[in-house]
Chain A
C-alpha cells in the first residue's frame, strides 16, 4: 500500500546515505553485496564486526566468507545460491555458522536476493546477515534442560517401578500369616477376632491394588509408537476388553464416523477402555449405560481431532473436574465405588505422551463427557 510517508522515506534513503546506515544498524547485523561476475564483494563494517574483524582486516572479495563459513553450511549456501539464480522463487535463505576471529561459533541467518540484468541474468547478489547466536544458545540450553528433565522423569518412573515391587513384597508375608492364622486358629477366635483378621487382609489387598496400579502408571506411555490407525478399531478393542461389564450392566457403546488418527493404537485402546470402565462404574442405578463416542476436527487446530466420550451416568460437580486426573484421587469412598483412582491418571499420561489434551464436562445426574485430542492422520 502506498503512503506518502513511504514515498518520502524511499526518497530519503536515496538521497542521504546516513539514513540507509541508520536503518542497517538498527535492523541487521551485516550487509553484503556481491558482483557475481568478478567475485568482488563489499561487506559492511558491521558484517565484519560480527565476526570480530575491523573493516580493514577483511578484503572485499568473496574469499573471506568461503573460507570462514562452516563447510557443510557453505555447501547449503552454494546450493541455494545456484537454485535462486535459476529460479527467483527459490529463496536464498538459510541458517549458517561462521568461525569468529576468537574461534567461537557465530550463528547467522543469511538471506539474499539476486539482482538481474535486462535479460534476467543475475549480475549482483544483495544479502543480509542477522546474528542469531544468542537464540541458538538459548535453544541449546533449552534442549539440554529438556533432556535432563526427560532423564530425571525416566529415572523417577524407574524408581516407582522398582519401589512398587519392593513395597508389595512384605504384603505376601502379612497376608500370608494373617490368612494362615485364620485357617489354623480361626476356631479359637470369636466373631470380632475374625473380623479384625479380615480387615487386615482387606487392607493389604487394597494396598496391593494400589501398588499394582502404580506399577501400571509408571509403565503407561512407555515406548509410544506413532502410526496411523483407525480410531474405530481402537474403540472396538476397548469394547472387547470391557465386555463383561457391558453384559453385566446392559450397556451399549455407540461409535459413529470415527476418523483415522496418529498415535499408539494399543495405548489409545487402553485409554478408551479406562474411560468406558469409568462410565460403566459410575452409571445410574435405574438406567442402562449408553456411551457415545464421536469425533470432530479441533476448532483450534484442524490437524487434530477432538474425540468425545459421552455417558448418561451419575456425573459429578465440575468443582472436582481438575482433581479427577490426579494419582489416587477419588470422588467416592471405596465402599461406595471400589477403585484405586489411577485409571484417569493413566489416561492423562497417555495423552501427555501423545501431545494431546483432555478435559471433562459433567453435571450431577446428567452424565459426563470426556473430551480429548489426537493428531489427525490427514489434513481436512
Chain B
C-alpha cells in the first residue's frame, strides 16, 4: 500500500499539536505535513497528499479559497478534503459543501474525541472507499509541441 500523506492546514499551534498526537494514535503509519497558513497550503498541495485536513479561519488565504483552489486544479481535485474547524456557522457549512468539500467536521472538545473523529475519517477514506489513481502532478505550464511550418 502506498504511503499515507496527510496535509494538515492549521494555524493554531495547540490545535496542530493535538491533531498531530491524535493522528499518531488513531491513523497508523503516515507522513504529516503541516501548513500554517493558506499560502503554505497552496504550496504543499502540489505534492498531492492523500488527505487534506483544512481549517477555515487561517491567515493569508482563507480556508474556503484553499478548498476552491484544490477543486479547480485537475491534479488535486480528487484528494479527499475534510474541513476540520471550530465554526458551526450554517453559512460556512453551506459554502464548504457548495465547493465540494468531502466532509465538514467541527473540532470536538477532548483528545479522545479528536482521535475518534480522525480514526473514523482514516477508516472511511483509506479502508472503505475506493479512490482513483492520482493524475500526474502539474509541474509547470504545458509546452505545446512546435507546429512545423508548411
Q: Chain A: interface secondary structure?
A: helix
Asked, given contacts A171-B109, A204-B109, whether A176 binds B87 with beta carbons under 8 Å apart, the answer is: no
List chain A residues, Cβ under 8 A from B110: 175-176, 179, 201
What string of 1s and 0s marks CB contacts (under 8 Å) between A100-128 and chain B? Answer: 00000000000000000000000000000
Query: Which of B13-21, B31-39, B136-144 faces chain A?
Result: B13-21
Q: Which residue of B21, B88, B107 contacts A172 across the interface (Cβ within 8 Å)? A: B107
Q: What's the Cα separation between A96 and B23 when bound, in Å?
A: 73
With both beta carbons as reference points, the residue of chain B lying nearest to A215 in the complex is identified as B88
Q: What's the Cα separation between A172 and B107 when bound, in Å?
A: 7
Q: Are A172 and B89 touching (Cβ within 8 A)?
A: no
Q: Are B18 and A177 touching (Cβ within 8 A)?
A: yes
Q: Are B112 and A179 touching (Cβ within 8 A)?
A: yes
Q: Are B111 and A172 touching (Cβ within 8 A)?
A: no
A138-163 at interface with B (beta carbon < 8 Å): 161
Q: Which residue of B88, B89, B90, B109 contacts A176 across the interface (Cβ within 8 Å)? A: B109
List chain A residues, Cβ under 8 A from B112: 179, 183
Q: Are A176 and B14 touching (Cβ within 8 A)?
A: yes
Is B12 part of the contact surface with A, judged by Cβ < 8 Å? yes
With both beta carbons as reference points, the residue of chain A lying nearest to B115 in the complex is identified as A183
Q: Smallest distance from the beta carbon of B64 to chain A beta carbons, Å?
A: 15
Q: Are B18 and A180 touching (Cβ within 8 A)?
A: yes
Q: What's the Cα separation between A171 and B106 when bound, in Å?
A: 13
Q: Smallest distance from the beta carbon of A215 to chain B beta carbons, Å?
A: 7
Is A165 part of the contact surface with B, judged by Cβ < 8 Å? yes
List chain B residues, Cβ under 8 A from A205: 109
Q: Smallest distance from the beta carbon of B95 to chain A beta carbons, Å?
A: 15
With both beta carbons as reference points, the residue of chain A lying nearest to B15 in the complex is identified as A172
Is B7 part of the contact surface with A, judged by Cβ < 8 Å? no
Is B114 part of the contact surface with A, judged by Cβ < 8 Å? yes
What string of 1s and 0s marks CB contacts (under 8 Å) between A207-238 and chain B? Answer: 01000100100010000000000000000000
Q: Which residue of A168, A171, A183, A215 contacts B111 across the interface (Cβ within 8 Å)? A: A183
Q: What's the Cα separation between A177 and B12 when bound, in Å?
A: 14
Q: Smallest distance from the beta carbon of A366 to chain B beta carbons, Å?
A: 40
Q: Are A169 and B86 touching (Cβ within 8 A)?
A: yes
Is A299 part of the contact surface with B, judged by Cβ < 8 Å? no
Asked, given contacts A171-B109, A204-B109, A205-B109, whether A177 binds B87 with beta carbons under 8 Å apart, the answer is: no
Is A173 part of the contact surface with B, judged by Cβ < 8 Å? yes
What string of 1s and 0s marks CB contacts (under 8 Å) between B87-111 and chain A? Answer: 1111000000000000000010111
List chain B residues, Cβ under 8 A from A173: 12, 14-15, 18
List chain B residues, Cβ under 8 A from A176: 14-15, 18, 109-111, 114
Q: Smallest distance from the beta carbon of B123 to chain A beta carbons, Å?
A: 20
Q: What's the Cα separation between A176 and B112 when bound, in Å?
A: 8
What string of 1s and 0s marks CB contacts (under 8 Å) between B60-90 and chain A? Answer: 0000000000000000000000000011111
8 A-B residue pairs with Cβ-Cβ distance under 8 Å, sorted by A, are A165-B87, A169-B86, A172-B18, A173-B18, A176-B114, A201-B110, A205-B109, A212-B88
Q: Which residues of A contact B (CB under 8 A)?
A: 161, 165, 168-169, 171-173, 175-177, 179-180, 182-183, 201, 204-205, 208, 212, 215, 219
Q: Return the 3 tightest CB-CB contacts between A and B, nearest first.
A: A173-B14, A179-B111, A176-B18
9 additional A-B pairs beyond A168-B86, A172-B14, A177-B18, beta carbons within 8 Å, are A172-B86, A172-B107, A175-B110, A176-B14, A177-B111, A179-B112, A180-B18, A183-B112, A205-B109
